[in-house]
Amino acid sequence: MSDSPERISLAGRLRNNFLTGLIICAPLAITIWLTFTFIDWADSWVTPYIPQRYDPQYYFNITIPGTGLLIAVVFITIIGFLGKNLIGRSIVKFGESILHRMPLIRSIYKSIKQIFETVLKEQSTSFKKCGLIEFPSPGMWALVFISGDAQGEIAAKLNADGEEMVGVFLPPTPVPTAGFLMFVPKSKIVMLDMTPEEGAKLLISGGLIAPDYKPVPGAPTAILPAPKMQA
């Protein structure tokens, strides 16, 4: 039994080395896999529509990953360039006028276009800030993404008492692709300095990956007041 500590120590060292290697290899392997999966997905959509004489695979007899993705990026960029001039805008308006006459398609098109215009607009603040709200009950705080101030009928109905309302998106953990859209009084939101990317990491990891934070001198360090000491 005298060599038991040595065997435990050796097993511990092997376990630590394995975990260290896993931490190094797993993120790299998953990143590479996701990258090539996205490239293959883009190629599968674009490559079948490339004329044979313009397809590099026809000349080299090998598959070149990323060809479809590159062509798609170039094509979208050219469409954006042409869509900025007078002739391009006229063609786009003509195409949209046709879509707007189709009962079902016009609703889908308008909704998707409005979402892209809101998200990709340079001056947009949608989902560029994170905050905390009390949910599902007082004293329990949930991380939310700020979507913007309430607008239209919602703003007219909810802002009647003078309290400014803000739209927030409350995603679940660990897959923040669905959730709840809620309108909360602005005074009830605790704004955070973390970026949406850091907030997404916090959600996906279930709170294990918290972003670095350096308190600003003079800033409050607690959300709720400290309890009073009993005499």
The gap between the terminal CA atoms of the chain, to the nearest Å, is 57
Domain-embedded: residue 216: no
Domain-embedded: residue 168: yes
Domain-embedded: residue 146: yes
How many domains does the chain divide into?
A: 1
Write down the pTM of the prediction: 0.57
Residue 173 neighbours by CB distance under 10 Å: 14
Lateral strand order in the sheet of 130-134: 180-185, 165-170, 141-149, 130-134, 190-192
Domain-embedded: residue 98: no
Domain-embedded: residue 200: yes
Residue-level pLDDT at 212: 84
pLDDT along the chain (231 residues), means of 10: 57 86 90 90 85 77 81 88 83 86 86 77 69 92 90 82 86 83 92 91 87 71 49 44
For residue 198, the SS3 value is: helix
Range of the domain at 177: 130-204
